[in-house]
Amino acid sequence: MIHFKNIKKSFDNNHVLRDVNLEVARGQSMAIIGGSGTGKSVLIKTVLGLIKPDSGIIIVDGIDVNKSTHDQFLERFGMLFQGGALFDSLPVWKNVAFRLQRGSQKRSKDEAREISIKKLRRVGLGPEIADKYPAELSGGMQKRVSLARAIATDPEIIFFDEPTTGLDPIMSSVINELIREIVVELGVTAMTITHDMTSVMAIADQVAMLHDGKIQWCGSRSKLKDSGNSYVNQFIHGTAKGPIKTLR
């Protein structure tokens, strides 16, 4: 279980997270929605210690994130970065198998490659791209390689930062199904940032809406349509009128 308590984070005068409180239960799929630049990516990075909150604590299974031994702690996580963040000095299969080639989860080279190719297939990529370099792939393919890397060691908790952005509708639904499968079959706890309401409907148990540095609404997916929350309504209907300001 992941518990955010009173998380605050500012970059100079940019108060991104003002007071975030959120609980994600074990084995649950939580979707985070919210406008661009509201701090969704920052929020996820605080769990992994990539960004230190100014105040507040994050508890994962009863352990304070900032007090845990880092390497072991991180082995329980998988993360799909918004920009892919593939290592461009390594071929695709070594990117996917990065964790399988070093540290406590090290396997033999053949085994690592085999797992890597299996994971690539799950995200709709064939073995012919295994030896290519990330720069040789299209943006959507890079995203999927990154997704394969995030799930390569079957982690318990996975963060997906906009998994379907930049993918065609068919590939999007393949990825949505994959995320759903991972949660249901493997009991993974997932937090997915997305702007894509189809995606939300396909993968989420719970939905949280981040705006103005706070969680404005959190509830189950089925209640999303009649949340009675004006922020949520504006967001899911994509209207310009409402409490969320649009600069034009």
Ligand X SMILES: Nc1ncnc2c1ncn2[C@@H]1O[C@H](COP(=O)(O)OP(=O)(O)OP(=O)(O)O)[C@@H](O)[C@H]1O
Spatial strand order of the sheet with 206-211 comes to 77-80, 157-161, 189-193, 29-33, 206-211, 214-220
Is residue 143 near another protein by the rule CB under 8 A? no
**Angle (nearest 5°) at CA 141 between 139 and 145:** 115
**Distance between first and last Cα of the chain:** 40
Shortest separation between residue 17's beta carbon and ligand X, angstroms = 9
Euclidean distance between CA atoms 210 and 30, whole angstroms: 12
Residue span 103-142 as binding mask against another protein, x where in contact by CB under 8 A, dash where not: x---------------------------------------
Stretch that binds ligand X, among 22-30, 35-43, 90-98, 118-126 (CB under 6 A): 35-43
Q: Which of 48, 171, 197, 201 binds another protein (CB under 8 A)?
A: 48
Contact 237, 244 (CB under 8 A): no
The residues near 29 (Cβ < 8 Å, ≥ 6 apart) are 179, 180, 183, 189, 190, 192, 203, 204, 205, 206
Is residue 40 near ligand X by the rule CB under 6 A? yes
Strands 2-11 and 14-24: antiparallel
Looking at residues 87 to 106 of the shown chain, list those that interact with another protein (rule: CB under 8 A).
87-89, 98-99, 102-103
Shortest separation between residue 56's beta carbon and Mg ion, angstroms = 20
The DSSP output letter for 65 is G
Is residue 201 near another protein by the rule CB under 8 A? no
Per-residue burial over 108-137, b if 16 or more Cβ lie within 10 Å, else e, is eeeebbebbbebbebbbbeeebbeebbeeb
> Which SS3 state, helix, strand or coil, does residue 220 take?
strand
Q: Dihedral of the CA atoms 103, 104, 109, 115 (nearest 10)?
A: -120
Is residue 50 near another protein by the rule CB under 8 A? yes
The residues near 138 (Cβ < 8 Å, ≥ 6 apart) are none
Q: Which of 24, 31, 38, 45 binds another protein (CB under 8 A)?
A: 45
Nearer of residues 11 and 87 to ligand X, judged by Cβ: 11
Shortest separation between residue 212's beta carbon and ligand X, angstroms = 12
Shortest separation between residue 186's beta carbon and ligand X, angstroms = 26
Q: Which of 2, 7, 16, 179 binds ligand X (CB under 6 A)?
A: 16
Stretch that binds another protein, among 22-30, 69-77, 197-205, 223-231 (CB under 8 A): 69-77
Nearer of residues 80 and 215 to another protein, judged by Cβ: 80
Is residue 39 near ligand X by the rule CB under 6 A? yes
The residue ranges that bind ligand X (CB under 6 A) are 11, 14, 16, 34, 36-42, 82
The residue ranges that bind another protein (CB under 8 A) are 45, 48-50, 70-72, 74-75, 77, 79, 81-83, 85-89, 98-99, 102-103, 149
